[in-house]
Amino acid sequence: MLSFAVFDGDSPASSWPLQHACLIGPGDVPCPGDVRFENGRIVGERNSQESTGLMLQFPVVLPGDPPRPLGLLTLDTCLLRSRKEPYLLSLELARRQIMQFLNRFEDWGMFDLSPTDPILEQFEAARRRFTAALVAQKHDDPTDRTRVTMSAEADRLAREALGLAVDAAERLALAHAEREFPRRVSGERYNNAVEIYRSVHQETPPASASILVPGTVGVTLPTRPMVGVSVDPAQFTEPLQKVIQGSADFLVMPMRWIDMEPKEGEYAFATTDRWIEWAIRTAKVPVVAGPLIDFRPDVVPEWLYIWENDYETLRDLVAEHVRQIVTRYRRTVTRWTVVSGLHINRHFSMTIDQMIEMTRICVLVTRKLHPAAKVVVEVNQPFGEYLAYSRRALPPLAYVELLNQAGVGIDGVGLRVQLGRPGVGGSARDLMALSIMLDRFALLERPVYVTATGVPSQPLSDPSKEDAFRDAGWWRSPWSPETQAAFASDFTAMALSRPFVHSVVWQDLYDSTRKAREMPFGGMMGPNGETKPVARSMMEMRRSIRDGRLGAGLLSLPS
């Protein structure tokens, strides 16, 4: 059992909102367990003797005059051993942030930063506050330093250390992006990879091939990174077309099953056709399609639920649907996202073997009908929060590894990174957490495609969600058009600076009122046709890729 002392000012907390709270095990993978609040403590229990950590939403504030909120963020503690005495929650969250900073500082080779650099000075301030918080704990037994009662002063100092560490870590992540971005887009990283390949293998790699360089994380891609935008086909107007031409290198057509085949056997292609025709003939931009199979409730036609407990029939319907869509659009689509989120295994329950088999069938059908196209499998909820509430689900990385072991040939892994939406897996995260998540997927040694990312332009609430998931939190300031644009700039720059990330797609072109939408208020354009600041952010990112360096003022964090 783990327990964590929490404070409300100078006194132990009388209550605590356990938003997005769950236990985590090795590899920071969420795991089933009981998390509850009682007597001023958060208590976590799981049926395992392994070291365990806690994930939950926590308010982060940067100390100063005045203090500045950094967000209501989902954070993790380190893995801890079980003990009777409580840990201090704020202290353990700060410990984790400090550890992550040190690890990434070394992994990224950021040794060129001067000791007087503001990032390192702020980090040192965080370490000093953390040490002071350790000292401020009251020890009951001087001979047994594991028996402690926490003090409000220690909590105050630990919260200050946490705020300083989170801010310093985000700045480090952006400093790394600023350093690596020109190397990536200019081709310098790829040219270096080619030279290393020649020296190791005594031969030149195949032309335009992805290269795995010894001692680095992930593959190095030969092409410049790109940005795209996903389009709800329900609307087709000139203002929408202009935004695409200015802000995207390619167009993504979601091809949701509920839109493509609303009634069994009756396909509706007209709205999708007109967008693809415009993209190919008028805009001259590539078209990416999918996910073709996605079992989220908002995108599945009602008639399909008849077969949710009949896997064989469902499998055959899935294969036929993929065949119909790929056959129709194989002359116009360059990349297919064939499946999304099968690993979550929530709405159409399957065994592990069935998940892998269905993925394989979708990939094989697509390959057979369109061998020239790239084929991607999409991972939803890449932090894996759903694992805390399901024993039939697969961890994100394990799912892709099983595909590799089964010989399912995919060209890359897609990531759906959508924050700020109520529900499991939609909570706000800091930039360092997002950086670490991207680097973990690089270990799969395949190209990574951010197939959908986004945050809302205003706070969202959903009374239909459970209490623990109604508040998705926020980053830097409550969600607004300006915060949405800042997140788009920072996350996109951070992702595209990595040599293994092929592209980033903004989740929606406009704010749709339809049920089948990615996120309320998550588009580049508002419901009245006004262009939001996020569109400008994506336009500036395209310009930065073309110019070979990040534009001045594009990254949002002030100095």
**Is residue 173 within 8 Å of 432, Cβ to Cβ?**
yes
Handedness of CA 76, 79, 83, 85 (dihedral sign): negative
What pLDDT does 148 receive? 57
Mind giving me the DSSP string for 283-316?
Answer: I---EEE--SEE--GGGS-GGGGGGTT-HHHHHH
- Quick one: which of 530, 509, 513 has its CA closest to 275? 509
Q: 407-430 burial string, b = 16+ CB within 10 Å, else e?
A: ebebbbbbbbbbbbbbbbbbbbbb
What pLDDT does 373 receive? 97
Q: Quick one: average pLDDT of 105-112?
A: 94
> For residue 361, how many other CB atoms are within 10 A of its CB?
19
pLDDT band with cut points at 50, 70 and 90 for residue 559: very low
Strands (E), 342-471: 374-380, 412-418, 448-454
Q: Is beta strand 293-294 parallel, antiparallel or unpaired with respect to 333-340? A: parallel
Using alpha carbons, list the distances in angstroms from residue 310 to 240, 257, 314, 354, 432. 41, 18, 6, 12, 42
Using alpha carbons, list the distances in angstroms from residue 516 to 226, 290, 466, 485. 26, 14, 21, 23
H-run or E-run covering 73: strand 68-76
Using alpha carbons, list the distances in angstroms from residue 157 to 129, 162, 475, 540. 6, 9, 22, 40
What pLDDT does 557 receive? 67
pLDDT tens profile 480-497: 999 999 999 999 999 999
- Count the residues in the chain: 559
Give the mean pLDDT of the chain. 93
pLDDT tens profile 512-529: 887 657 899 999 999 888
Q: What is the number of alpha carbons within 13 Å of residue 526 lying toward its C-beta? A: 10
**Is residue 280 within 8 Å of 332, Cβ to Cβ?**
yes
Query: What residue type is 379 in one-letter code?
Result: V
Query: What residue type is 3 in one-letter code?
Result: S
Burial degree of 394 (CB within 10 A; 0-12, 13-18, 19+): buried
Euclidean distance between CA atoms 359 and 337, whole angstroms? 11
Instruction: Give pTM, 2 decimals.
Output: 0.95
Which of 291-295, 321-325, 550-554 is least confident? 550-554
pLDDT tens profile 181-224: 999 999 999 999 999 999 988 899 988 889 998 878 899 999 99
What percentage of the chain carries pLDDT values higher than 70? 97
Euclidean distance between CA atoms 285 and 509, whole angstroms? 15
Residues 275, 281, 282: CA angle, nearest 5 degrees: 80
Q: Quick one: average pLDDT of 417-437?
A: 96
Q: Quick one: average pLDDT of 256-260?
A: 95
Judged against a pLDDT cut of 60, whether residue 399 lies above it is answered with yes
> Where do we find the tokens 């310093």?
168
- Write the DSSP symbol of residue 79: P
pLDDT band with cut points at 50, 70 and 90 for residue 140: low
- Write the DSSP symbol of residue 530: P
Name the residue ranges covered by the structural domains of the chain.
Answer: 2-176, 188-223, 226-547
Query: Is the CATH number of domain 226-547 3.20.20.80?
Result: yes
Mind giving me the DSSP string for 83-103?
Answer: -SSPEEHHHHHHHHHHHHHHH
H-run or E-run covering 135: helix 118-136
Q: Quick one: average pLDDT of 97-116?
A: 95
